[in-house]
Structure 1
């Protein structure tokens, strides 16, 4: 992967040129997606999906005076084209660049990259690397759309997706969970020896997701396309929409759901709201949690990342947890280390559960693995790796459904260990709170504070997130985005 990493770094360095042209990090990745799609269509021999005269070489041959105007028209034309995937990637596309010389430098730089090595190592891996680079750059504010890959890989490994699964992510982001599930299937099954009907069914109908933010949806489509999972975007892939509205009907039922829903609250707007969920709340995590366990087929399984408040919140929060414990076998909770997401202070968990055949009494025992206490402070100096999850994966066992026999083979490590069993009666005695900890966290008492530069970066990241929330609220309230920009309210 050395060549791919080198190309990713070169692509990321090009961002400096666009920063001088007033383009933000997130805008840069979107802009780069428009250009990379054209180039990769040429590299993969799939330019037939693009209209004649609207391809990579047509853009390259434009002179410096007319290249930017040609490019802007090209974006408009592709957004209205006949091919559904192309049309979705370029829907409402517009260029953030103001100088033809900036565009020319981007085109020339992309052309001179080592595309032979990129094809050999995988164009999908190249694009994933670019998305990860954007997410780990705190100034981009994109970390909220990017779940750490070591965590995704660990979750997928214990959930064991198979070719017969119908896999869903109702808050898909850039598609990391779906792509990791595909990697797992291909690593454990000989997918290329399947009969054609099974192969078509898998590649065109096995993966389903939904993403609310148009630019992030664009990145997700590109990501799936480069991994061979966006052949029929009308029937599968990642849809643009809001799972917490009737849009969810596009997703259907699933045998496996893997997701990291967004944090925060759902503001009241004029949009249609879900009426099929029993408990109505503005808390997005609780709404997504209800969607997930209601969308599972009988004996379907799920792994969902949720913040601590979902484990202990009273009122409707308690009612939703009780409903989950009744309808599903909630067999495992993984308490995650702090600091592994873009907001350093957020404490999160992974809930693993299986939908029961009945509506009551499905949870008998809940096993809690504490990977939070006495863990290092993760960041650039101590990156999160797959090795940090190895002991959990071993303790979880080889049954992705958490069946009774598999749970009986687990070992409770006692008050000094990380893995413990709690009965349904013990949880009821806690008021159905799942916020369970027992280890003394010496790292929390050490008094060590992050470096001032890290604290400043975290503050800027939180401010960027707050601005994005404000932007979303204003737009939901019907404000005009162009007018807000002219007034200086939005950048």
Structure 2
């Protein structure tokens, strides 16, 4: 979901947005506010990622943000910016006017969205947004609305940790078709899209979403768009009508948290595969709908109330038929209070398969996995229980290992057990994991070894001490080399590149400064799964190129763009967004392409590439770049002509090398300190039980 730094920046942005919005809650109908906020976030992301300075929506966005900064209503320009952006071929939401977004309706003037100026001013304030993830900002903002009681919906809000567990259990892949028949705000499909994007291209996957609360489709559409789903469509529906109109085809995965114990009507008009559910509860209508939509290879991961595992009457009969037909793969019991404040009851996850024999080895199809994770989770007083990353990994890893070979996967006492259909039948078809997974209170996890922890801390302490001495030595060298007291010359980057300052250095050789290809040379449809990496501004972090979400083009197209190939020692600079971001091209990155939104500097002989990268990240350089940029606070842009005027502090090459070495030592020292801090935090979490048991 992103780095710790990105999450921290996103939390800072949301805190700022909420402080701006909160004073406008009282005395108003606030239900549509979240959709309007999400639309503004979507527009902000589109302006930054796609917009060019000459685009009308970029100009209107810049005017709107400027108006908001001085307290003038930005709604007229916001509306114009959104409508202009929606006409762009890459805008992710079709028919924006049909979504009934509040701030698009100007009939009541500026008072219909009184918080807009404060919200937009807070959004574009400070540098934090450039480091934040808009998807993370949306998720945290939705969470804040739920916590503060400002957002209510017929479908429960699914906490992010539970969403991640369902998605990790389903493990969606590029090309999968995924359905959520009760999508709420679209959180499950959004995280599924995010996971697919981490493992391949998102374009091949398709998403089908329906909402039982008719006020949710527009919010879900915006959420999916923010998470990279192109042209999402969400409709309002219910399990009976969805079952009756299944002409949209089969799906590979169903992910859903449908409303619990919802009453249904007209259920008698449907030919249910395992039996007609009772009118008083749609739980087994949702389960049968999910199963009926699956392809032969498909499976479903659904949240259910615990009562569905042992209820009697008509539901017990349906449950037995599902088990006998091999429709059930697993049932996972989760802790209580995960869904607070909506409900404190624990929930179960049901994993269904259309054809169980396609998911389990021959001879193992007559078994069901039960996981009792009810004792997992982190509970803080007066707060919802949360599943940790370790909890999610433990549950999903156990399920996937069992799928590969149930008979070869040993039961884990107190946590998981593989149970035969015969044993389930002996227990009257009950699917309560507690009935099959026996907890032994005397069996506790082994206490952490304090000696090993302290030894590791000693090793880290020695490494950081050595790193600290190296930093001190490098900085001392720099100080000795620059002790002359003579003011360093400031030379414009353009003159350096042209090699016209031979008075400063002997044997001056020119360099090269150029912009990456325009959007017409590399289009969205040109990107492929495997090929030549294309470096974009988002890939530039801490003097390095992050390949986590890097895009590729085919070798043939890269050959046509030969002039944009990167050479060893080039410096790649961001031309928009957070100015000053840059990276030096290393040996393994030779031959990659400079992408749209970047500049490339091929340094002249008198300029050390690592020194220049360090200088670009300095306060002096960043302030100059910000002062000479255009665009909004969230999408600052520097032109090639302006960049050529950047005054570069230029010591001799010996000093440049010393400064570059010192910055490298500082980066390494920072990394070691972060590792030591993480270890210290782990010792703080784990050592108490070791002390009590020693």
| TM-score, normalized by the shorter chain, greater than 0.5 | yes
Correspondence for 1:207 = 207
**Contact between 1:266 and 1:284, CA under 8 Å: does it hold in 2?**
yes
Distance 1:365 1:67 in 2: 62
The within-5 A match list for 1:458-477 is none
Q: 1:372 aligns with which of 374, 379, 383?
A: 374
Correspondence for 1:334 = 332
Mean alpha-carbon deviation: is it higher for 375-384 or for 122-131?
375-384
Q: 2:316 aligns with which of 315, 318, 340?
A: 318
Using CA pairs below 8 Å that are at least 6 residues apart, which structure has the higher relative contact order?
A: 1
Distance 2:339 2:347 in 1: 9
Question: How far does residue 407 in structure 1 lie from its aligned partner after superposition?
Answer: 1.0
**Contact between 1:150 and 1:384, CA under 8 Å: does it hold in 2?**
yes
**Contact between 1:68 and 1:100, CA under 8 Å: does it hold in 2?**
no
The within-5 A match list for 1:349-360 is 349-356=348-355
Distance 1:427 1:100 in 2: 56
Question: How far does residue 336 in structure 1 lie from its aligned partner after superposition?
Answer: 0.6
Secondary structure of the residue aligned to 1:244 is: helix
Distance 1:304 1:208 in 2: 16
Q: CA RMSD in A?
A: 4.1
Secondary structure of the residue aligned to 1:171 is: coil
2:280 maps to 1:259: no
Q: Deviations over 1:371-420 (max 9, x none)?
A: 11586646638643222333323432346xx35xx111221234xx2212
Q: 2:121 aligns with which of 85, 108, 111?
A: 108
Correspondence for 2:240 = 244
**Contact between 1:301 and 1:354, CA under 8 Å: does it hold in 2?**
yes
**Contact between 2:331 and 2:370, CA under 8 Å: does it hold in 1?**
yes
Distance 1:8 1:274 in 2: 47
Mean alpha-carbon deviation: is it higher for 428-437 or for 15-24?
15-24
**Contact between 1:30 and 1:215, CA under 8 Å: does it hold in 2?**
no
Secondary structure of the residue aligned to 2:240 is: coil
The within-5 A match list for 1:403-482 is 406-414=405-413, 417-438=414-435, 439=438
2:195 maps to 1:184: yes
Secondary structure of the residue aligned to 1:409 is: coil
Question: How far does residue 19 in structure 1 lie from its aligned partner after superposition?
Answer: 1.3
Question: How far does residue 332 in structure 1 lie from its aligned partner after superposition?
Answer: 1.7
Q: Deviations over 1:412-464 (max 9, x none)?
A: 234xx22123221121122222124245699xxxxxxxxxxxxxxxxxxxxxx
Correspondence for 2:500 = none
Correspondence for 2:475 = none
The alpha-carbon distance between structure 1 residues 393 and 99, as it changes in their structure 2 partners (threshold 3 A), is closer
The alpha-carbon distance between structure 1 residues 381 and 206, as it changes in their structure 2 partners (threshold 3 A), is closer
Question: How far does residue 29 in structure 1 lie from its aligned partner after superposition?
Answer: 1.6
2:397 maps to 1:391: no
Question: How far does residue 123 in structure 1 lie from its aligned partner after superposition?
Answer: 1.9
Distance 1:317 1:89 in 2: 44
Q: 2:179 aligns with which of 148, 151, 168?
A: 168
**Contact between 2:169 and 2:400, CA under 8 Å: does it hold in 1?**
yes
The alpha-carbon distance between structure 1 residues 274 and 162, as it changes in their structure 2 partners (threshold 3 A), is farther
Distance 1:53 1:396 in 2: 47
Give the TM-score taking structure 2 as reference length. 0.52
Secondary structure of the residue aligned to 2:407 is: helix
Q: Deviations over 1:346-365 (max 9, x none)?
A: 2210112321179xx99611
Distance 2:364 2:408 in 1: 19
The alpha-carbon distance between structure 1 residues 337 and 285, as it changes in their structure 2 partners (threshold 3 A), is same
The alpha-carbon distance between structure 1 residues 273 and 14, as it changes in their structure 2 partners (threshold 3 A), is farther
Secondary structure of the residue aligned to 2:101 is: coil
Correspondence for 1:93 = 101
Question: How far does residue 337 in structure 1 lie from its aligned partner after superposition?
Answer: 0.5
Distance 2:376 2:92 in 1: 49
The alpha-carbon distance between structure 1 residues 143 and 16, as it changes in their structure 2 partners (threshold 3 A), is farther
Q: Which protein has the larger Cα radius of gyration, Structure 1 or Structure 2?
A: 2
**Contact between 1:5 and 1:129, CA under 8 Å: does it hold in 2?**
yes
The alpha-carbon distance between structure 1 residues 375 and 242, as it changes in their structure 2 partners (threshold 3 A), is closer
Secondary structure of the residue aligned to 2:335 is: coil
Secondary structure of the residue aligned to 2:253 is: strand
Correspondence for 1:196 = none
- Unmatched segments (≥5 aa) in structure 2: 1-5, 358-362, 442-694
Secondary structure of the residue aligned to 2:102 is: coil
How many correspondences in the alignment? 414
Q: 2:34 aligns with which of 29, 33, 42?
A: 29
Give the TM-score taking structure 1 as reference length. 0.71
The alpha-carbon distance between structure 1 residues 365 and 300, as it changes in their structure 2 partners (threshold 3 A), is same
Secondary structure of the residue aligned to 2:383 is: coil
2:24 maps to 1:18: yes
Question: How far does residue 214 in structure 1 lie from its aligned partner after superposition?
Answer: 4.1
Distance 1:37 1:297 in 2: 33
Question: How far does residue 333 in structure 1 lie from its aligned partner after superposition?
Answer: 1.1
Distance 2:113 2:235 in 1: 33
Correspondence for 2:46 = 41
